Amino acid sequence: MSVAEHTPDACRFVLVTGPSGAGRSSAIRALEDLGYEAIDNMPLRLIGDLLKNPIPDKPVAMGIDPRNRDFSVASVMDALGQIGSVPGLMAELLYLDCRTDVLLNRFSETRRRHPLAEADRVEAGVQRELELLSPLRACADILIDTSNLNVHQLRAEVEHWFSKGDHSQLSVSVQSFSYKRGLPRSVDMVFDCRFLKNPYWEPKLRNHTGQDAAVRDHIRSDRRASEFETKLLDMMLWLLPAYLAEGKSHLSVALGCTGGQHRSVAMAETLGAALAERGWQVSIRHRELDRQKREEV
């Protein structure tokens, strides 16, 4: 296990991005209403100059638009690195996601021109933008899928993740990942599942995931799996009330395996479900499975 070194009193500096039509502007307005200093569409090359000023006395939300001429995945990651290197600041990437068909419908209803589309080829513009943003989606600290959300529901979701002050509940994010693609950013705890029996070596299970019962059963045939599940859950149930009492509003837990498809997915599903059954507010995300779905679109 490794624990990310986050200063409890660090000021949040959130970069907000996502495809056009997914609700980025609405999310930034919601953050502004929560007391965040909102900066929209500032060129990324100016981040360095911004950070030369004293640390802000309130959290910051900065909208990142792919239409900016200096926009690139590398420039966004560099900006996150610059922010995170400043003592007292905690860099986070919020990604507003949305299904392709919903994005197309939204542009059709509003009759807006897609910023990356030539002439009236909205679909081509949407696909180009999704491909451009795909690496950022994969490494987002918080991902909100707005496909089935109206503006009020999106605001509630943003408030859920970013509201300040007293909290009656702690939001727990549980995610799986592949060590081949590196550790997720800004997680609080990381657990390695690579010691468990690997379904990849079973031809019938290789193309399935840890969300499938047969894969979970195969993993649980390893006598260590049940004990690992029990000890991990016991530790989380011991820690969560302490974090809540300390005033923490969000805790991110990541479970990794070699490919991010079988063992880590199964353990993330099991842990997330167990915590939810005990009344904790939990979201479950599978980084590599999400990436594969995006590539298949």
Residues 36 and 71 in one domain: yes
CATH of the domain at 136: 3.40.50.300
Three-state SS for 101-158 is: HHHHHHHHHHCCCCCCCCCCCHHHHHHHHHHHHHHHHHCCCEEEECCCCCHHHHHHHH
Q: How far apart are CA 172 and CA 237, in angstroms?
A: 12
pLDDT digits (tens, 9 = 90+) for 123-174: 777 888 888 898 999 888 889 999 888 888 888 888 888 876 444 467 888 9
Out of 141, 162, 183, a domain closes at: 162
Considering the domain architecture, whether residues 117 and 13 belong to the same structural domain is answered as yes
Same domain, 267 and 185: yes
CA distance 169 to 250: 9
The pLDDT of residue 202 is 95
* pLDDT exceeds cutoff 80 at 92: yes
User: Based on the domain organization, do 204 and 91 belong to the same domain?
Assistant: no
Evaluate whether residue 150 is within a structural domain.
yes
Which of 162, 188, 218 is the last residue in one of the domains? 162
| 53 domain-assigned | yes
In terms of pTM, does the model score above 0.95? no
Q: Same structural domain for residues 190 and 150?
A: no
Domain membership flag for residue 1: no
Kindly report the CA angle at 190 between 186 and 192, in degrees rounded to 5?
145
35 torsion bin: left (phi>0), alpha (psi -120 to 50), beta (else): left
Where among 130, 162, 194 does a domain terminate? 162
Q: What pLDDT was estimated at residue 189?
A: 94
Residues 245, 196, single domain; the answer is: yes
Q: In this predicted structure, what is the pLDDT of residue 5?
A: 41
234 and 88 in one domain? Answer: no
Structural domain contains residue 2: no
User: How many domains does the chain divide into?
Assistant: 2
Query: With 80 as the cut, is the pLDDT of residue 3 above it?
Result: no
Is the same domain home to 156 and 19? yes
Kindly report, residue by residue over 29-72, the tens digit of the pLDDT. Answer: 889 888 889 988 888 888 888 888 777 778 999 998 887 777 88
Range of 226's domain? 171-296
- Both 151 and 36 in a single domain? yes
